[in-house]
A and B are shown apart, each in its own frame.
Chain A
Amino acid sequence: MHDVQNLADRLVDLKRRYPVGQPDLVTDVVLAVLGSMTGDISHRETALLHEIGALGEAVATARLEIAALKVDDITVSYIPCATDELDAIVSHTAAATESILEACETLDMLGDTLEGEAARKLQDATSKIYESCSFQDITGQRITKVVSTLKTIETTIARIVMTFGKASITASTSSPVVEGDGLLNGPQLARSAMDQSDVDKLLASFD
């Protein structure tokens, strides 16, 4: 019993000396405690100390593995680069869509000077162009979702790096804030979305 109290006192002393836990220190602490123990300790206490030691080694290994991943490259370079590229896609396709619409509006004005079959055919064609141009809105929303996901990954990785790489900083347990959280989720993938006829049936069910 005296030995257990002695162990507890030593652990408290070590905690006081190292108020901020550092994973690789855990192993050193356990070894130091084991090495300085006098008298007998129970099998249970020995097993506990070994488990703590193993845990410390596992955390230290994880730190090395994370360091080997060069996570800074991911957060500093890869993800910002990817989001910039996606933003550029949205911007370029928006500009292209504006040009298409402008040309289409010119055709519509030309159509106003025509009559009969020619006018109808031209309007059908420009209608289809207008309809097709709405792809820009849909792809824009989809890309925004991807950018938001990448930012969440970036935040999560940064938190892991803080936790394992800078032990003096305590990781927050709150969820990362994602821009536009209050909005809907944007376009759904075809496999999980209702089409117009499904929506019409649902609306009709209210009548």
Chain B
Amino acid sequence: MSMDKSMNVLIVDDYKTMLRIIRNLLKQIDFNNVEEAMDGGEALSKLRVGNYGLVISDWNMQPMTGLELLTEVRKDTRLKTLPFIMITAESKTENVVAAKQAGVSNYIVKPFNAETLKGKIEKVLGNA
């Protein structure tokens, strides 16, 4: 199944360097329509008015964390099936389980490489 790489992708991280890195890595795999949000609240506002095909979000943000964002997305009837990848330095079992239970599509551990990012996106969009 080929991916629609023209889709809008929302990347969410409170650290602008990380946003810049992810945006560049996405560009290298031909995702050029990338928008950014600096926390869960801003991301949710954008998701509710925009048309996105994928969310890639950090967990550790304030005031709304990535997990809270995911929970809100899954509660929203329009967004509940939106592919959602969590990227975080947290890799404790309980964190992964909590994310899965909240409905995460996939989970990437920092630091990650371009190959991992590409692989997870393909898996998530292939299953979407």
User: Which residues of A pack against B, CB within 8 Å?
Assistant: 94, 97-98, 101, 104-105, 108, 123, 126-127, 130-131, 133-138, 140-141, 180, 182-188, 193-196, 198-199, 202-203, 206
Knowing A188-B89, A194-B92, A203-B96 touch, does A138 contact B28 (C-beta < 8 A)? no
Q: Is B2 an interface residue (CB 8 A)?
A: no
Contacts of B122 in A (CB 8 A): none
Bound-state Cα–Cα, A99 to B91, Å: 30
Chain B interface main SS type: mixed
Contact A138 B89 (CB under 8 A): yes
Contact A199 B109 (CB under 8 A): yes
Knowing A194-B91, A206-B100 touch, does A187 contact B15 (C-beta < 8 A)? no
User: Which residues of B pack against A, CB within 8 Å?
Assistant: 15, 17-18, 20-21, 24-25, 27-28, 59-60, 62, 65, 88-93, 95-97, 100, 106-114, 116
Since A94-B17, A194-B91, A194-B96 are in contact, a sample of 10 more A-B pairs with Cβ atoms closer than 8 Å, ordered by chain A residue number, is A108-B24, A130-B114, A134-B21, A134-B111, A134-B112, A136-B17, A137-B110, A193-B92, A194-B93, A195-B109
Bound-state Cα–Cα, A198 to B28, Å: 27
Bound-state Cα–Cα, A184 to B82, Å: 24
Contact A133 B21 (CB under 8 A): yes
Which are the 10 A-B pairs with shortest beta-carbon distances? A187-B89, A194-B91, A127-B114, A134-B111, A131-B113, A184-B90, A137-B18, A196-B109, A193-B91, A130-B21
**B114 to A: closest C-beta gap in Å:** 4
Contact A186 B89 (CB under 8 A): yes
Bound-state Cα–Cα, A105 to B112, Å: 19
Contact of A127 among B28, B62, B109 (CB under 8 A): B28
* B65 to chain A: closest residue by CB: A183
Contact B114 A131 (CB under 8 A): yes
Contact of A187 among B25, B65, B108, B110 (CB under 8 A): B110
Contacts of A183 in B (CB 8 A): 60, 62, 65
